[in-house]
């Protein structure tokens, strides 16, 4: 099983590298876009390492995350719109570099690099704490409410990491227009969370009580 899973994971990983590279460098019209290479490095090297760790430590969880397919119509819409936003942000970043529209200062880029790495640290902790974690909205057999660690602070720490990552990536690329565009991800993830909580409240025992104990969804004292 691990051999087949490894091939599947590497195939999807390489496809992601090629896709993101194309979305960044084709609009830029050059491979000299240093910020593009910087983002590729900090995005895919930790992802590759995380995949290897999951193959060894928790192949079941990796399989669930590789074979994700949303069943909820509302969630499929959110995923599709998020994907379009992801594509548009990279394309605009490449064009922004090519035509020097609104470049960001170097210090801003490096702060964003730190935020990307911090978001990966959050991801790693969430994966460690929650073995039920899936990319789709569902209640799994035998699933229990996780209320310790990060889940004792906010109800959706994985989405907290995602928001941090998505908003940081355009800054790493040095593109202010891409960052402004990516702000549209916030209402999309809010819609996804509200639908997910409705599903969990109906199907997961103890979730309603948990949501009353842990007030904040994404970031403490904000939302």
Name all domains of the chain by residue range, CATH numbers in brackets: 2-213 (1.20.120.1630)
Helix (H, G, I), strand (E, B) or coil at 29: coil
Residue 149's pLDDT is what?
84
Q: What is the pLDDT of residue 76?
A: 77
Q: In whole angstroms, give the CA distance from residue 68 to residue 180.
A: 29
Note the pLDDT of residue 140. 53
20, 91 Cβ separation under 8 angstroms: no
15 φ, ψ to 5°? -65, -40
- pLDDT of 134-177, one tens digit each? 554 455 555 677 878 888 899 899 999 999 999 999 999 999 99
pLDDT of residue 85: 92
How many whole angstroms separate alpha carbon 178 and alpha carbon 21? 16
151 neighbors 215 (Cβ within 8 angstroms): no
Would you state the structure tokens that stand for residue 195, as one six-digit string?
Answer: 């639908």
Token pair in block for residue 157:
């720490």
Which parts of the chain sit beneath pLDDT 50? 136-137
Q: What is the DSSP string of 138-188?
A: ---TT-----SGGGGT-S-HHHHHHHHHHHHHHHHTTBHHHHHHHTTHHHH
Tokens 């999807």 appear where? 12
Q: Output the pLDDT for position 144.
A: 76
Q: What are phi and psi of 145, to 5 degrees?
A: -70, 130
Q: Which of 117, 104, 124, 115 has the alpha carbon at shortest distance from 44?
A: 117
pTM of structure: 0.85
For residue 191, the SS3 value is: helix
- The phi-psi region of residue 76 (left if phi > 0; otherwise alpha if psi is between -120 and 50; otherwise beta) is alpha
């Amino acid at each position: 099983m691990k051999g087949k899973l490894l091939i599947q994971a590497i195939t999807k990983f390489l496809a992601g590298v090629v896709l993101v590279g194309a979305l960044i460098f084709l609009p830029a019209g050059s491979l000299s876009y240093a910020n593009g290479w910087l983002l590729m490095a900090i995005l895919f090297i930790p992802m590759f390492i995380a995949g290897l760790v999951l193959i060894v430590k928790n192949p079941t969880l990796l399989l669930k995350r590789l074979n994700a397919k949303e069943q909820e119509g509302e969630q499929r819409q959110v995923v599709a719109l998020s994907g379009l936003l992801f594509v548009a942000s990279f394309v605009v970043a490449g064009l922004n570099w090519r035509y020097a529209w609104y470049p960001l200062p170097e210090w801003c880029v490096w702060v964003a690099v730190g935020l990307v790495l911090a978001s990966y640290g959050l991801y790693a902790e969430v994966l460690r704490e929650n073995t039920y974690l899936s990319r789709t909205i569902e209640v799994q057999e035998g699933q229990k409410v996780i209320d310790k660690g990060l889940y004792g602070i906010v109800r959706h720490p994985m989405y907290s990491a995602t928001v941090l990552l998505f908003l940081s990536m355009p800054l790493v690329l040095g593109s202010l227009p891409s960052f402004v565009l990516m702000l549209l991800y916030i209402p999309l993830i809010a819609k996804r969370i509200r639908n997910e909580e409705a599903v969990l409240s109906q199907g997961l025992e103890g979730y309603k009580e948990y949501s009353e104990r842990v007030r904040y969804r994404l970031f403490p004292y904000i939302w």
